């Protein structure tokens, strides 16, 4: 995982980032849909633009997804979809941390660590919350929680990919709420490139 990238390499790659322009919301959203009808996404664990607690990241054992809550979506919403991406990952595309759908079209919440109704494959091919693990020395990453209001219910089965989900959502988004958390790994010991073990 990216936490094993040596600090010196993380610093060297600090300007290598996928980019916010590749987020799903940049691909499917429209400015007028952001916060439409007061649609808002928040968390009791962090405020928009503020750091995530390590308990939601790869830096702590038994880490889980943070709690989320949202207001009533726009009129006509049939289903809500949550996509969490890291546009600052040193990759060609944002790292997908969570794909969630099947959320009821109403005011609601996901409790800390709660298993959602339907979950797709993250960037590591697992159907779960992918713990944030930015490289040491890469500076803070944004973790963008994008909640989409759709005008139809999806028929995707659990385990679908990001592209499967995005394709199913095309031309059906009518509202978006966005919440961003940040995380930066503190520098510790250097890693031995030969065996991946942390040096004393």
Residue 163's domain is classified under what CATH number? Answer: 3.90.280.10
Residues 39, 149 contacting (CB under 8 angstroms) = yes
Residue 20 lies in a domain: yes
Residue 50 lies in a domain: yes
Which tokens is 131 given? 């713990």
Asked if the model's pLDDT at residue 124 lies above 80, the reply is: yes
Look at residue 187 in the predicted model and tell me its pLDDT. 65
Total of domains in the chain: 1
Residue 46 lies in a domain: yes
- Chain segment 68-84, per-residue pLDDT in tens: 999 999 999 999 999 99
Residue 54 lies in a domain: yes
Look at residue 186 in the predicted model and tell me its pLDDT. 72
Asked if the model's pLDDT at residue 4 lies above 80, the reply is: no
Residue 37 lies in a domain: yes
C-alpha closest to that of 3 among 191, 199, 177:
191
Looking at the chain, the whole-number percentage of residues with pLDDT higher than 70 is 84
- Chain segment 157-167, per-residue pLDDT in tens: 999 999 999 99
Average pLDDT of the residues in 104-124: 96
Average pLDDT of the residues in 80-102: 94
Q: Give the domain extent around 119.
A: 2-183
Residue 142 lies in a domain: yes
Give the model's confidence band at 146: pLDDT under 50 very low, under 70 low, under 90 confident, else very high. very high
Residues 27, 87 contacting (CB under 8 angstroms) = no
Residue 28 lies in a domain: yes
Average pLDDT, the chain: 86
Give the pTM: 0.85
């Amino acid at each position: 995982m990216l936490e094993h990238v040596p600090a010196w390499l993380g610093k060297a790659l600090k300007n290598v980032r996928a980019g916010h322009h590749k987020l799903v919301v940049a691909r499917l959203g429209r400015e007028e849909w952001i916060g439409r009808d007061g649609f808002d996404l928040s968390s009791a664990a962090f405020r928009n633009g503020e750091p995530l607690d390590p308990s939601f990241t790869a830096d702590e054992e038994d880490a889980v997804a943070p709690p989320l809550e949202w207001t009533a979506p726009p009129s006509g919403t049939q289903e809500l979809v949550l996509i969490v991406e890291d546009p600052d990952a040193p990759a060609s595309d944002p790292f997908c941390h969570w794909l969630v759908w099947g959320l009821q079209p109403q005011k609601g919440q996901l409790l800390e660590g709660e298993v959602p109704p339907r979950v797709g494959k993250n960037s590591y091919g697992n159907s779960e919350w992918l713990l944030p693990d930015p490289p040491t020395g890469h500076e803070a990453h944004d973790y963008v929680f994008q909640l989409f209001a759709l005008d139809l219910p999806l028929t995707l089965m659990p385990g679908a990919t990001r592209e499967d989900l995005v394709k199913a959502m095309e031309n059906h988004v009518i509202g978006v709420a966005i919440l961003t958390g940040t995380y930066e790994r503190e520098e510790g010991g250097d890693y031995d490139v030969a065996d991946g073990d942390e040096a004393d």
